[in-house]
């Protein structure tokens, strides 16, 4: 199992080779790879360091084990909205085993803790608690941040995954937005009649994620989650970089 972590402190991707029973990097002893992987069947997972650190602090605040059946998912596996934070590895769906009152207590603790960027209201998810550590600002009114050549992050992994999922070209997933990723984005923009600038803003994210979301589930692309390997393709080509650290 390959786990890619965007280290927000160093603005670099880190690669870990772990088994399902191992502890997630930066998660102390409170989250196993199996829990983070949840219902995904992917052999490669990604998140960022601050999401793991927020988890550790929230878990300590809660004071007892938290049931984590769902966290990460690949965009091709679907099951969430087009620009879901689950595809970026920054969000958790937890506490399905608690009663309504306990869930309400967790929701309100998550909201008041200041640890999470977003906590879903009870009206949207009454039988679980969703919180996430999404990067801001979003390129659209909600969703993923703007990316361009030089960006390094778990959101670049989502971008590369989505481009592969629609079958455009196999570029590998390394979280580094170098010239190879930029060229693939331009090809996509050209094919879709979008402004060809290699920048992944609102329109490009919206079009790409709509095409990629749930695509494996619909059987429109034969590539399985288990077969997409990570390759550090763009890493050697990076020169100027931008940080999504905040
Ligand atoms: Zn969720």
pTM of the model: 0.91
pLDDT in the model for residue 240: 61
Tell me how far the alpha carbon of residue 150 lies from the centroid of ligand 1, in angstroms: 29
Tell me how far the alpha carbon of residue 20 lies from the centroid of ligand 1, in angstroms: 21
Determine the 3-state secondary structure of 44 from DSSP: strand
Rounded to whole angstroms, the Cα distance separating 56 from 45 reads: 18
Q: Mean pLDDT per 10-residue run, the chain (246 residues)?
A: 94 94 94 96 95 98 96 95 98 97 98 98 97 96 95 96 84 88 94 97 98 81 45 59 53
Tell me how far the alpha carbon of residue 77 lies from the centroid of ligand 1, in angstroms: 14
Tell me how far the alpha carbon of residue 134 lies from the centroid of ligand 1, in angstroms: 12
Tell me how far the alpha carbon of residue 7 lies from the centroid of ligand 1, in angstroms: 23
For residue 91, the cross-strand partners are 132
pLDDT in the model for residue 187: 93
pLDDT in the model for residue 226: 41
pLDDT in the model for residue 1: 86
Tell me how far the alpha carbon of residue 80 lies from the centroid of ligand 1, in angstroms: 7
pLDDT in the model for residue 244: 54
* Residue 18 in tokens: 């772990």
Tell me how far the alpha carbon of residue 182 lies from the centroid of ligand 1, in angstroms: 30
Give me the domains of the chain, ranges plus CATH numbers: 2-132 (3.30.1380), 154-237 (1.10.101)
| Cβ count near 144 (within 10 Å) | 28
């Amino acid at each position: 199992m390959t786990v890619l972590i965007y280290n927000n402190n160093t603005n670099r991707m880190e690669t870990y080779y772990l088994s399902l029973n191992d502890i997630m990097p930066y998660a102390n002893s409170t989250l196993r790879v199996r829990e983070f992987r949840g219902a995904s069947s992917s052999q490669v997972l990604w998140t960022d360091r601050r999401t793991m650190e927020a988890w550790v602090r929230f878990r300590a605040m809660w004071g007892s084990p938290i049931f984590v059946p769902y966290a990460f998912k690949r965009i091709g596996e679907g099951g969430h909205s087009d620009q879901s934070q689950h595809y970026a590895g920054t969000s958790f769906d937890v506490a399905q085993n608690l009663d309504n009152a306990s869930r309400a207590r967790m929701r309100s603790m998550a909201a008041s803790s200041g640890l999470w960027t977003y906590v879903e209201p009870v009206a949207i998810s009454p039988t679980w608690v969703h919180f996430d550590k999404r990067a801001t600002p979003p390129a659209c009114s909600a969703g993923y941040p703007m990316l361009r050549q030089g960006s390094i992050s778990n959101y670049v992994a989502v971008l590369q995954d989505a481009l592969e999922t629609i079958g455009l070209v196999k570029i590998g997933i390394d979280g580094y937005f170098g010239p190879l990723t930029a060229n693939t984005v331009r090809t996509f923009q050209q094919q879709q009649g979008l402004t060809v600038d290699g920048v992944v803003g609102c329109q490009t994210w919206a079009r790409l994620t709509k095409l990629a979301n749930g695509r494996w589930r619909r059987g429109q692309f034969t590539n399985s989650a288990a077969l997409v390997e990570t390759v550090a393709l763009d890493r050697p080509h990076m020169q100027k970089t931008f940080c999504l650290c905040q």
